[in-house]
A and B are shown apart, each in its own frame.
Chain A
Amino acid sequence: DGGITQSPKYLFRKEGQNVTLSCEQNLNHDAMYWYRQDPGQGLRLIYYSQIVNDFQKGDIAEGYSVSREKKESFPLTVTSAQKNPTAFYLCASSPTLGGYNEQFFGPGTRLTVL
């Protein structure tokens, strides 16, 4: 079955630690995205990537970093510079960027700072 996987499902971080969230897709999609969702708010874009070895900042990129070394993979690192990282993190992909392309989501990672 084609789809998007994210791991881990739950992640706990201590103050000052960097953590990396995994996102893998086997849909052969070119574009991938990372969103953050806080209670009662809409999704906010952290980073997105249109092709391998290229990515762009979204609205809330500060304190986060990404890489896109393979088409299937788009890991997100939450650095110690992110002051309020507790949130639900969602990875998505679409065939290409923009146009009439629909985005499909992985199951999400819930990050909690201890």
Chain B
Amino acid sequence: QKEVEQNSGPLSVPEGAIASLNCTYSDRGSQSFFWYRQYSGKSPELIMSIYSNGDKEDGRFTAQLNKASQYVSLLIRDSQPSDSATYLCAFLMDSNYQLIWGAGTKLIIKP
């Protein structure tokens, strides 16, 4: 069964702190993982993609992948109120190239 699990939140983080978002996935063979940000009423926008174990950093964002544990996370450093959004995790099924999506974690950054 293909699925992605995310805590729906809301996750409340003080401004300037580190926000940590987590995601587990079911397909051991998957090679491609994505984090998208979605503001209320808007479409998802790509934040990070990660394909190999370890960390990948891009500005204030760090994606972490652990394939053995089937776990991917997103860290947001120096959180800003503009980071308040729903964060969607997705992985690519290698068998049919379909993206499987989590329901998202709602993040609230409190000034």
Which residues does A use to contact B, with CB under 8 Å?
40-45, 48, 58-59, 90, 97-100, 102-108
Contact = CB atoms under 8 A, between A and B. Distances in A.
Q: Is the interface of B mostly helix, strand, loop or mixed?
A: loop
Interface stretch (B10-18, B57-65, B75-83, B101-109): B101-109
B73 interface: no
Contacts of A99: 32, 97
Contacts of A40: 8, 103
B4 interface: yes
A40 B101 CA distance: 12
B44 A43 contact: yes
Q: Is the interface of A mostly helix, strand, loop or mixed?
A: loop
B28 interface: no
B49 A102 contact: yes
B32 A100 contact: yes
A106 B43 CA distance: 7
Contacts of A41: 103
14 contacts: A40-B8, A42-B104, A45-B98, A45-B99, A90-B43, A97-B97, A99-B32, A100-B31, A100-B32, A100-B49, A104-B46, A105-B45, A106-B43, A107-B43
A42 B97 contact: no
A42 B94 contact: no
Interface string B67-97: 0000000000000000000001010101001
Given A90-B43, A98-B92, A98-B94, A42 B49 contact: no
